[in-house]
Amino acid sequence: MASTKTKERPKPFLFPQFCKACGRCISACPKDCIEMGTEIHPATGFTPVVLDLEVCNGCGLCLSACPEPYGLMPAPADVDLELLEPETLLGERGSTAPTPEPIPDVRVPLPELETMILKGTHASAVGAILAGCRHFFGYPITPSTEGAELLAKLLPQLDGVFVQAVSEVATVNMIYGCGGAGLRCMTFTSSPGFSLMLEGISYMIGSEVPGVFFDVMRGGPGLGNIGPEQGDIKLACRGLGHGNTHAVVLAPSTPQEMLDLTMNAFDLAFKYRNPVILVSDGYLGQMTGRVQLPSYMIKPGLPEWAVHGDEAHRGNLICSIFLSEADLEQHNIHLLEKYDQIIHDEQRADLFHCEDAEWVIVASNTPARMAKGAVQQLRDRGVKVGLFRPITLWPFPIDALTRPLQRASGLIVVEAGAGQLEDELRLAASHAGIQDIPPIHRVSHYGGVLPQQQEIVDTVTALAGGIV
Ligand code: SF4
Ligand code: SF4
């Protein structure tokens, strides 16, 4: 005789630490057995749902609704659920997966090519491709758009991905995800767009995710105009979102450097697991110049920490949340040690006639080009003047400036902005314990107006004692 006893359907069970609090199970349950919890789980920062299964009929709808692989599951029979540990039910985390090993980058030799004439943003886009970048996310904004435009044409032909996001906020979060997967990715943007990305950059720094941000600076504040300015130096060097944030900031001055430093930016981003910011200005973005391609390109590997979605990397987790105060302090100490190493190892500068200079001009980006012309003009007249061009704005290359500072009667900061480069210089000197900096003079313009060679010559001439 057939048994009339029906098998009881299992009720749902949840390890709260695996709940992402999406609420889908709440909507799915016809018996209102599930409600949103009120307590934050210390391991995740989420508020897991709470189950009250008195009237649960085991329909299983919540199990089907839960998108988490280790989320709601059928409760095992004959087990004290109060004492159940995840390892008992699910096995050791990652126990069957091989330990991820880093796959190193490979330098692929390139045939020698003739010098090309390229626009600055195009040179940077070519540099990104040669550096192994196959993922671009961005939102168009003048005067940076041409770089994105070229990548939109080239990346699909290289099995790459080009996504025009709905906004700069979406862009930075796509870069966060792509960089977290261990892939080389970038964006082009300009000042107002860069401002919108700062929160996401803070998350990337907190999570130690690499990515390259190319900011073609334009006139501000606000929408300003599309002329060249250097008004984002403060943001790039001191204002990368909330918290204890820093990133290497590279300042190209020629189309050749737009290519070289873009390639370099990817290496630095992955070396330090940190975003890297390139800042140029509206002129450099549009300016054409001779560009020599390098003798190699990069075939990127894959870092062992990547959340890559394959078996080997499934145990990896990237996040910037540390709910325990002690843990977050330790994380900040770790970040500070990383910043110290960057300050020690990555300062870069170009010195032109600084060896005997009595007057040292400090300038970067397009203003450095006018300053270089002024130095040549003044040297022809016998004025001992030199140009100190920081290539890294953070870390400011103060070590290379120490000797010129000892000899100089004065510094002249030439800037398309209201003193942000000068502030970096002063801060770097202060942090380096340099007490006696010579008087600092300025030649600056704003709103898209650039300092001109002749006014730099006139300023230095006046400082040097008049007509020479
Ligand atoms: S099994 Fe059905 S009744 Fe029970 S909690 Fe899930 S959805 Fe609700
Ligand atoms: S569906 Fe799963 S992850 Fe979402 S709240 Fe419910 S248990 Fe949590």
What is the per-residue pLDDT across 322-379, written as a single tens digit (0 to 9) for each? Answer: 989 999 999 999 999 999 999 999 999 999 999 999 999 999 999 999 999 999 999 9
Q: Strand locations in 111-170, DSSP E? A: 116-119, 135-138, 161-164
With a 6 A CB cut-off, is 335 part of the ligand 2 pocket? Answer: no
Q: 3-class SS at 147?
A: helix
CATH architecture under which domain 106-345 falls:
3-Layer(aba) Sandwich (3.40)
Distance CA 193, CA 223 (A): 10
The preferred substitution site among 25, 33, 66 for testing ligand 1, maximizing ligand atoms within 8 Å of CB, is 33
To test the pocket of ligand 2, the residue of 13, 24, 33, 35 to mutate (highest count of ligand atoms within 8 Å of its CB) is 24
Query: N- to C-terminal Cα distance for the chain?
Result: 119
Q: Is the pLDDT of residue 309 over 90?
A: no
Give distance in angstroms: CA of 183 to centre of ligand 1.
41
| Domain 12-82, second-level architecture | 2-Layer Sandwich (3.30)
The closest alpha carbon to 129, from 172, 158, 164, 163, belongs to 158
Which numeric CATH code is attached to 349-463?
3.40.50.920
The band of 468, judged by pLDDT with boundaries at 50, 70 and 90, is low
The CA-atom distances, in angstroms, between 427 and each of 46, 47, 354 are 40, 43, 21
Note whether 106-345 and 349-463 share their fold: yes
The structural domains of the chain, with segments of one domain joined by +, span 12-82, 106-345, 349-463
Q: What is the mean pLDDT of residues 27-37?
A: 97
CA–centroid distance for 418 within its chain: 25
pLDDT grade, residue 95 (50/70/90)? low
pLDDT at 99: 80
- So what's the pLDDT on residue 311? 79
| 406-435 per-position pLDDT tens digit | 999 999 999 999 999 999 999 999 999 998
Tens digits of residue pLDDT in 111-163:
998 999 999 999 999 999 999 999 999 999 999 999 999 999 999 999 999 99
Percent residues over pLDDT 90 in the chain: 86
Q: Percent of the chain having pLDDT more than 70?
A: 97
- Residue 312 is predicted with a pLDDT of 83
Phi, psi (degrees; rounded to nearest 5) at 300: -65, 145
Question: 57 C-alpha to center of ligand 1: Å?
Answer: 6
pLDDT digit string, tens, across residues 290-301: 999 999 999 999
For residue 42, pLDDT over 90 is answered with no
Is residue 11 over pLDDT 90? yes
DSSP β-ladder status, 211-217 and 385-390: unpaired
Model pLDDT, residue 435: 87
Mean pLDDT of 100-114: 94
Which tens digit of pLDDT belongs to each residue from 200-244?
999 999 999 999 999 999 999 999 999 999 999 999 999 999 999
Quote the CA–CA distance of 191 and 207 in Å, as a whole number: 24
d(CA 146, CA 258): 13
pTM of the predicted protein model: 0.81
Say what the pLDDT of residue 3 is. Answer: 47
Write down the pLDDT at residue 467: 55
Residue pair 168/174 in contact (Cβ under 8 Å)? The answer is: no
Taking the CA atoms of 200, 202, 206 and 212 in sequence, report the sign of the dihedral they define: positive
